[in-house]
Amino acid sequence: MLKAVALPACKAFVACAVGVALALPAQARTLSASFPGASIPLAELPAQGRATYALIHAGGPFPYDKDGTVFGNRERLLPAARRGHYREYTVPTPGVRHRGARRIVCGGPPRLPEACYYSGDHYASFRAIAP
């Protein structure tokens, strides 16, 4: 069960996400075990990636309309799953006026994902996020 603590009034995306403290479920702590690609520790994600990861587990609010929508895995770089299993989230890129190329894609229930993956190159590659 996730526990959100001290969620401040959200005036800025990063400020909101930084105020969220999470207790991650056991299934999330083992997410990289089933992914054959490289993994990345949560602490090594860019600050915006850590903030997005926190928002995913808190259930939002998300800054982009596309956040939380179904990711089709057309590239077939993630483990095979039924349609609708994966959802995508934007990791803001400082200095760009659009969504940029950075994303987190999570599989499983929206607030309790079984696994999350980081792409810094708009789905050309993924790394499993190890909390």
Judge contact between 48 and 92, C-beta under 8 A.
yes
For the question of residue 85 being annotated catalytic, the response is no
Residue 113, preceding peptide bond in cis (omega within 30° of 0): no
The active-site residue out of 44, 88, 98, 114 is 88
Copy the structure tokens of residue 37: 């690609």
CA dist 1 and 22 (Å) reads 9
Which of 91, 122, 128 is closest to 106 using CA atoms?
128
Number of residues assigned to the chain = 131
Q: Which residues are CB-neighbours of 40 under 8 A, at least 6 positions away?
A: 118, 127, 128, 129, 130
For the question of residue 88 being annotated catalytic, the response is yes
- Catalytic residue numbers read 88, 122
